[in-house]
Amino acid sequence: MDKGNSAAMSSSSPVRAMVGASIVASGITKVYGHGTNAALHALGPMGLNVKPGEFVSLIGPSGCGKSTTLLLVSGLESVTEGKIEFDGQILRKPISDVGIVFQDHLLLDFRTALKNVMLQQEIRGLDAAELRARADMLFDRLGIAGSEGRYPRQLSGGMRQRVSIARALVHDPSMLLMDEPFGALDAITRTQSRHDLEMLWMETQKTVLFITHSIEEAVGLSDRVLVMSKSPGMIVEEIKIDLPRPRPAHLGEYPEFAQYAERIYQIFAKLGVYKF
Amino acid sequence: MVRQIAFGYGQSAIIGLAAVGALLGLWEVLADWYDVPTWLFPKPSDFLGRLGADWLMIAGHAMATSITILQGFALGVLVSVPLAYAIVSIPALERGLYPVIVFLNIMPKTVIGPILIIWFGIGPLISALIVFLMCFFPILVDAMHGFKHVDPRLFYISRSMGATNWQGFWKFRLPAAMPAIFSGMKIGIVKAVEGVIIAEFIASDAGLGFMIMQASAFMDVSLMFAGLIAAALVALVFNSAMSIFEKVLMPWSGRGH
Ligand SMILES: Nc1ncnc2c1ncn2[C@@H]1O[C@H](COP(=O)(O)OP(=O)(O)OP(=O)(O)O)[C@@H](O)[C@H]1O
Ligand SMILES: [Mg+2]
């Protein structure tokens, strides 16, 4: 199936692949403004490997290049060096079989919440009724039912973020890229959203690359946590999280969770991210 | 939503009308008191009377003026918005064409009128062209600003959805630039209603400007004042229509509820 071709996608949408896509990146670096005076080495060299259907978190200090990694993996920014394979294909242009939640919600303020989500259907030429049903389901599951007709300006920050999550999921992509999707949420909504995302993920086979500042979120959601060093970032440690799913709300009370969290703290301390 | 707007306008209109009424009343009383000759400085009762007595003729001219505004303004929008998009998208145009437009815009547009008359003769179409020249530039500048300052990260979204250039324009860039385009159109309509009267002075055989010019030739000062009032009303209608249009077309741009 040609993933870049929306016409091909819509005609074959009922028989879409059930398994998520894989990412294999090797030796990638990103220098913003390469070759100019203002060149800024933002990332790498770094390798990254995400298996089909896996839930992987990237955690690291502010400015280490997490958002940059996501933009590279999505093909929206080009790598300065190295290469990225998406499902075995070398990435040359933005991938479209993907749902992205950006660090800022990036909703279009001239569209209502529902129309923002349905933009996926309009642009990709997918079946309107089917996508509308999925949108309704997602609004419901994400706790934003009733705000369909409201404009982004009329929503709270947390609601906007959940609308952008619905937009990333409505077309049922094989991969989800999420950049601190719950960063702006209050603690209660954050815990609930984490659980909602975990349940949605468990029902499907999507691959998820999840960027976060929160150790609790990383451990609470991931199969693997990749810890990044300070700028220019690279992955310094990989931690497999062997905890049953779905994971409970108050992870802090579980000793296994505390051990994982402690390990990440230790790595940060060693990297000089924390100075106590 | 629309009723709310109408109510807001209704309220300020009532206050405005009351103020105008008071002013006219004062004027009438003072003119009576000092016995000012009507042919020099008419009383409100004189020119409001003319507005009533000759309303069919005045309305006809007001209609001609309105059509001229609409034609010139519509042409302005239809030319400037696509041109703004082209200039913003093609760097060579921004470097080559835009300075030329800026220079041409400095020239007084009313001087172009007599030239146009020599080329095309007198008629409402020439006034429409002058109106176009007057409102073209502000719309162009603001539309360019709008297209230029679309958050570049919106392209992340459009590209990750696999949007074509066409979709990128219609679904992302144009609506994102709309508030800026509208602020240009609001300046443009002000320029248009200002410019149309002058354009009709010099280049038309119909419209309020032409009527006022004719009245002036006959020393009919009360008709000139009636024409002035009619012109103000036409301006008011166009400016309000623009604001209402904006609220209806861009409900998102207002404050939240
Ligand atoms: N478009 C850009 N142009 C130039 N420099 C950039 C650009 N985007 C990011 N950078 C720089 O690259 C570095 C990495 O930025 P990035 O946004 O990837 O960090 P991050 O890990 O996501 O940070 P945070 O956790 O605060 O979101 C920073 O030094 C940033 O200033
Ligand atoms: Mg970031």
| CA-A30 nearest atom, ligand 1 | 12
Residue of A nearest to B175 (CA): A110
Q: Residue A84 pLDDT > 80, yes or no?
A: yes
3-state DSSP call for residue B2?
helix
For residue A275, the model assigns a pLDDT of: 67
Residue of B nearest to A76 (CA): B156
What single DSSP character describes residue A220?
Answer: H
Same-domain check for residues B93 and B164: yes
Domain count, chain B: 2
- Asked if the peptide bond before residue A246 counts as cis, ω within 30 degrees of 0, the response is yes
Q: Residue B7 pLDDT > 60, yes or no?
A: no
Same-domain check for residues B53 and B30: no
Do the domain assignments include residue B89?
yes
The whole-angstrom separation of Cα A5 and Cα A234 is: 33
Residue B173 makes CB contacts below 8 A (sequence gap 6+) with B85, B147, B150, B154
Cβ(A133) – ligand 1 distance below 6 Å: no
Interval between CA A233 and ligand 2 midpoint (Å): 12
Burial group, residue A178, by CB count within 10 angstroms (0-12, 13-18, 19+): buried
B40 within 8 A of B221, measured Cβ to Cβ: yes
More confident residue, B20 or B82: B82
For residue A4, the model assigns a pLDDT of: 41
**Token pair listed for A39:** 């060149």
Same-domain check for residues B92 and B21: no
B211 within 8 A of B197, measured Cβ to Cβ: no
Do the domain assignments include residue B119?
yes
Q: How confident is the model at residue B252 (pLDDT cuts 50, 70, 90)?
A: confident
The whole-angstrom separation of Cα A67 and Cα A103 is: 8
- CATH number for the domain spanning B226: value is 1.10.3720.10
Is some CB atom of chain A closer than 8 A to the CB atom of B55?
Answer: no
Is some CB atom of chain A closer than 8 A to the CB atom of B153?
Answer: yes
Is some CB atom of chain A closer than 8 A to the CB atom of B59?
Answer: no
Do the domain assignments include residue B42?
no
Do the domain assignments include residue B174?
yes
Same-domain check for residues B19 and B51: no
Same-domain check for residues B116 and B32: no
Q: Which ligand is nearest to the CA of A31?
A: 1
Is some CB atom of chain A closer than 8 A to the CB atom of B29?
Answer: no
Residue of B nearest to A3 (CA): B162
Interval between CA A68 and ligand 1 midpoint (Å): 6
Q: Which ligand is nearest to the CA of A232?
A: 1
Cβ(A36) – ligand 1 distance below 6 Å: no
3-state DSSP call for residue A175?
strand
Task: Test B176 with A123 for CB contact under 8 angstroms.
Answer: no
pLDDT tens-digit readout, B38-51: 777 788 887 788 88
- From B121's Cα to the closest Cα of chain A, the distance in A is 45
Do the domain assignments include residue B41?
no
Same-domain check for residues B113 and B82: yes
Same-domain check for residues B104 and B142: yes
A181 within 8 A of A189, measured Cβ to Cβ: no
Please report, for residues A5, B18, B123, the alpha-carbon distance to residue B120 in angstroms, rounded to integers and kept in the order given.
53, 45, 8
Task: Test B160 with A154 for CB contact under 8 angstroms.
Answer: no
Interval between CA A212 and ligand 2 midpoint (Å): 9
Determine which residue's CA is closest to atom 8 belonging to ligand 1.
Answer: A68
Same-domain check for residues B10 and B101: no
Please report, for residues A9, B50, B113, B212, the alpha-carbon distance to residue B201 in angstroms, rounded to integers and kept in the order given.
62, 21, 10, 8
Give the count of alpha carbons within 13 A of A213, CB side only: 14
Same-domain check for residues B32 and B69: no
Mutation pick from B156, B159, B160 vs chain A, by most beta carbons of A within 10 Å, is B160
Do the domain assignments include residue B94?
yes
Is some CB atom of chain B closer than 8 A to the CB atom of A143?
Answer: no
Do the domain assignments include residue B229?
yes
Burial group, residue B241, by CB count within 10 angstroms (0-12, 13-18, 19+): exposed
* Domains detected in chain A: 6-270 (3.40.50.300)
The whole domain housing B12 covers: 1-36
Model-level pTM? 0.80
**Token pair listed for B82:** 């696509």
Comparing CB atoms, the residue among B157, B175, B255 nearest residue A110 is B175
Residue of B nearest to A149 (CA): B252
Comparing CB atoms, the residue among B158, B160, B172 nearest residue A74 is B160
Among A224-228, A245-249, B2-6, B52-56, the range of highest mean pLDDT? A224-228
E strands of chain B, at which residues? Answer: none
Residues B91-95, mean pLDDT to the nearest whole number: 88
The whole-angstrom separation of Cα B52 and Cα B120 is: 35
Residues A174-183, mean pLDDT to the nearest whole number: 91
Cβ(A254) – ligand 1 distance below 6 Å: no
Q: What is the ipTM score, two decimals?
A: 0.80
Same-domain check for residues B130 and B10: no
Same-domain check for residues B113 and B31: no
Same-domain check for residues B190 and B216: yes
Residue B62 makes CB contacts below 8 A (sequence gap 6+) with B208, B230, B231, B233, B234
Q: Which ligand is nearest to the CA of A66?
A: 1
Q: Residue B257 pLDDT > 50, yes or no?
A: no
For residue A276, the model assigns a pLDDT of: 64
Please count the residues of chain B: 257
Q: Residue A255 pLDDT > 80, yes or no?
A: yes
Comparing CB atoms, the residue among A111, A124, A153 nearest residue B162 is A124
Q: How confident is the model at residue A191 (pLDDT cuts 50, 70, 90)?
A: confident
The whole-angstrom separation of Cα B29 and Cα B20 is: 14
Q: Residue A193 pLDDT > 90, yes or no?
A: no
Contacts of A120 in chain B (CB under 8 A): 161
Cβ(A61) – ligand 1 distance below 6 Å: no
Q: How confident is the model at residue A104 (pLDDT cuts 50, 70, 90)?
A: confident
